[in-house]
Amino acid sequence: MSRLLNWALRFLWVPGIALLCIGIIGDVQNWWDELGYTSNMVAGATGACFGVPIAYFVIQRLSRERDERRGRESLEGRTLEQVVKFKADAEILLTSDRQILAEMTRDAGRLTAFAVNVKWLWGEGYKVGSRRLEEAHRHSRRLRANVESLRLWELPEATDPVWARLCSRWALLERELLPRATLEGIDVLPPHLSQDIGTYLQETKGDFSSFYEYAGSGDLDYIDEIISEAIEKGTGLPPPSDGKDVVHELFEEGRLHFIRIGKQIKAYEQFLSIVEIAENMAREKLLVPATE
- Predicted confidence (pLDDT) per residue in 52-64, tens digit: 777 777 777 887 7
Q: Which amino acid is at 152?
A: L
Q: Interior CA angle at 254 toward 251 and 257, to 5°?
A: 160
Helix (H) or strand (E) holding 222, with range, is helix 218-233
Output the average pLDDT for the chain. 76
Closest by Cα among 224, 239, 12, 237 to 132: 237
Cβ(287)–Cβ(84) under 8 Å?
A: no
Cβ(77)–Cβ(177) under 8 Å?
A: no
Q: Is the pLDDT of residue 1 over 50?
A: no
Cβ(265)–Cβ(105) under 8 Å?
A: yes
Cβ(38)–Cβ(32) under 8 Å?
A: yes
Rounded to an integer, what distance in angstroms lies between the CA atom of residue 291 and that of residue 236? 68
Rounded to an integer, what distance in angstroms lies between the CA atom of residue 162 and that of residue 156? 10
Terminal CA-to-CA distance of the chain, rounded, Å? 31
Q: Is the pLDDT of residue 201 over 80?
A: yes
DSSP 96: -
Task: For 95-105, write each residue's pLDDT tens digit.
Answer: 777 788 888 88
Helix (H) or strand (E) holding 212, with range, is helix 209-215
The pLDDT score that the predictor gives to residue 206 is 65
Q: What percent of the chain lies above the pLDDT cut of 70?
A: 71
The pLDDT score that the predictor gives to residue 170 is 92
Closest by Cα among 75, 269, 284, 77 to 189: 284
The pLDDT score that the predictor gives to residue 277 is 92
Cβ(100)–Cβ(146) under 8 Å?
A: yes
Rounded to an integer, what distance in angstroms lies between the CA atom of residue 280 and that of residue 95? 19
Q: Is the pLDDT of residue 192 over 80?
A: yes
Rounded (10°) CA dihedral 36, 42, 44, 49: 180
Closest by Cα among 19, 28, 25, 6 to 47: 19
Q: What are phi and psi of 108, to 5 degrees?
A: -65, -40
Task: For 21-46, write each residue's pLDDT tens digit.
Answer: 777 776 666 666 666 666 667 667 77
Residue 281 CB neighbours (<10 A): 16
Count helices and strands in the chain by DSSP H and E runs = 11, 0
Closest by Cα among 266, 249, 267 to 115: 249
Q: Which amino acid is at 249?
A: E
Task: For 221-276, write each residue's pLDDT tens digit.
Answer: 677 777 777 777 776 777 766 555 666 677 777 777 778 878 888 888 888 999 99
Strand-pairing partners, residue 237, are 128
> In sequence order, what are the residues at sequence separation of 6 or more whose Cβ sits closer than 8 angstroms to the Cβ of residue 267?
200, 204
The Cα-based distances of 272 to 94, 173, 188, 279, 284 in angstroms read 10, 17, 18, 10, 18
